[in-house]
Chains A and B, each alone.
Chain A
Amino acid sequence: QVQLQESGPGLVKPSETLSLTCTVSDGSINNQYWSWIRQSPGKGLEWIGYVYDSGTTNYNPSLKSRVTMSEDTSKNQFSLKLSSVTAADTAVYYCARYRRGTGWYYFDYWGQGSPVTVST
């Protein structure tokens, strides 16, 4: 079955850019919706956005001005960049597959989560 694994720095300085990568195993990333979701004690689970088919993206308006998502099909990976981070961006970041089709819309596969702290 599909497996997802996040990777990236666990500590980011304020005002810098948070960068995470999700590697997908046992399945192709082609023609699937790949999402990032974060979880912090203060805001619970928050959907950040998705990337589809290498170029189509949909971001949460609350983060849209700072988010960029992309895919690298040659590596079966997708990535998240969140710019100008503050302490409010401290959270566990999950990558997940958004299953989207007739009769179903939900996150069926998740990574284990990547904790990110924003601090000097």
Chain B
Amino acid sequence: DIQMTQSPSSVSASVGDRVTITCRASQDISGWLAWYQQKPGKAPKVLIYATSSLQSGVPSRFSGSGSGTDFTLTISSLQPEDFATYYCQQAQSFPLTFGGGTKVEIK
């Protein structure tokens, strides 16, 4: 199985801050990486797929980058509705696997 490791596990930030979350795969996943946002009591919601493609309806302040084994999700200017937990997920091979999550908290 491909292991997905996210860092940090949590981050405290203020509205307007730039936030970067990192996801590292245990082997090359050829860019097949998606990012999800999850709020308490809700299902995850896809933000980014194929490393950097923005899902329809997702604000442009979210962006993704990376290649090989190292990927990042960037929120350019944190908004109040962005406080949530973020997960990466690899789609290179089965079984599909997720990172452990990064909780973005209010500073």
Contact = CB atoms under 8 A, between A and B. Distances in A.
Interface of A: 44-47, 58, 60-62, 94, 96, 99, 103-108, 110-113
A59 to B, nearest CB: 8
9 contacts: A44-B98, A44-B101, A45-B87, A46-B98, A103-B53, A106-B91, A107-B36, A108-B46, A113-B43
Interface string B53-82: 101000000000000000000000000000
Nearest to B56: A108
Contact of A61 (B32, B43, B87, B95): B95
A44 B96 CA distance: 13
A58 B95 CA distance: 9
B18 interface: no
Best-surrounded residue of B46, B50, B53 (most CB of chain A within 10 A): B46
Given A44-B100, A45-B87, A104 B50 contact: yes
A62 B1 CA distance: 10
Interface in B87-107: 87, 89, 91, 94-101
